[in-house]
Amino acid sequence: MARPKHFYSFIIGTPERASIHSLPCYVGVLTIFALTCLYGIVILVDNILPTPLTVLDESRYPHAFIAERASWDLKNLTDIGPRVVGSYENEVLAVEYLTKTINSIMQESHPNQYLEQDIQIVTGSYYLSAKQGVINVYENVQNVVVKLHGKNGSSSVLVNAHFDSVPTSPGASDDGINVAVMLEILRIMSKLEDRPIHNVIFLFNGAEETPLQASHGFITQHKWAKDCKVVINMDSTGSGGKIILFQTGPKTPWLLKYYNGVPHPYGQVAGEELFQSGFLPSGTDFRIFRDFGKLVGLDMAFIKDGYRYHTKNDQFAYIPLGSYQHVGDNALFLIKSFSNAPELYEPVSTGEETVYFDILGLYMISYSNFIGTIVNSCTIVLSVAVFFYSIFSLKLENIVRGFLQVYQSFHSL
């Protein structure tokens, strides 16, 4: 019985001929090494945080975000303990701390600035569409709201974070850090000589975990809500690390034009697709502002070390100062940019969503879904073309010889 030729000979001919197409083993080693290095660079970049500024740096950077001072506010807030909606800790102690701190900021503000504070106690209900749908009814939830008046009083930027927590957690990252960041940004902007063009409304939200009640109460019933055009929402599903942009719009690519200028770009459209597809059984206040207030904006959150989320380990001690600096620098830049943006007079929707992602935290890439479809289609076509070119570039005689050898081998059995 004749011994069959090598199986692959029907494609490339004899094993001797096949050897001319093989690659040296060091090419494989170098490829693995390059991929390992690339993975290491990504991990390294993901863990590098900006250098935090302390109060000693304030004289050199008078209008910069001071991470150390923001951390003091978070320490005071988390020392209260878990801040459950309806509890004494949330409804009295947390509100007292916020109003006391805000009053101090207002007293130290620049004479050219005009700030108002309001405590909203609100009752309402709404239907939240989900897989099975939810009717949410709430009574006497609280919001602490501050309005930094701009030169044009007809449009406002809304900045939101929630100070309540789940019963099992002191809520340092979810969402105390962003509350502390908002207080520090309010300090900075209140001391500027020039007013922004548009108002900035700081919403310290007292009932997010229940879920999303206080944001609904604000956007549907508060006297300042009707002027809000853009929202910057900050939340957390982790502890520390960098804050990631994971939802934008809807259908407003000009928002990303401003985000592209932040000091520490960090974003990924995949998160937006997961949230809006309904695959993740979760949501943020951004959804309420978008669906009930028809606002456009940016949704950002901490995601690192998600195993601490909603547990007793979401503590002040686990958040490095660099995390405050990362979110603080980005949020301050965005608030200043949006509060002086001409687009706020009449936010324009293009009718098309946007693809976006950062490159190693250095800069953002963004383009329309239409461009994304073209790029993906071209990639598929080129991949198929390369495959068939590789097949048909082999000598026809080798292909014929291979089939004949396979036929003869089976025929001789």
Catalytic residues: 208
> CA neighbours within 13 Å on the CB side: how many for 189?
33
41's CB contacts (< 8 A; 6+ apart) are 360
C-alpha 24/C-alpha 294 separation (Å) is 60
- Beta carbons of 179 and 73 less than 8 angstroms apart: yes
DSSP 8-state secondary structure symbol assigned to residue 65: -
> CA neighbours within 13 Å on the CB side: how many for 407?
6
Which burial class, exposed, middle or buried, applies to 127 when counting CB atoms under 10 A from its CB (0-12, 13-18, 19+)?
Answer: exposed
- Beta carbons of 318 and 172 less than 8 angstroms apart: yes
Residue 33, Cβ neighbours under 10 Å: how many? 11
C-alpha 207/C-alpha 162 separation (Å) is 7
Residue 119, Cβ neighbours under 10 Å: how many? 13
C-alpha 59/C-alpha 189 separation (Å) is 16
- Beta carbons of 177 and 302 less than 8 angstroms apart: yes
- For the chain, the distance separating the N- and C-terminal CA atoms, rounded to the nearest angstrom, is 6
C-alpha 269/C-alpha 75 separation (Å) is 33
- Beta carbons of 200 and 224 less than 8 angstroms apart: no
- Beta carbons of 109 and 115 less than 8 angstroms apart: yes
Where do the DSSP E strands lie in 25-109? none
157: which strand partners? Answer: 200, 230
DSSP 8-state secondary structure symbol assigned to residue 176: I
256: which strand partners? Answer: none
Q: Rounded to the nearest 10 degrees, how much is the dihedral formed by the CA atoms of 61, 63, 69, 74?
A: -140
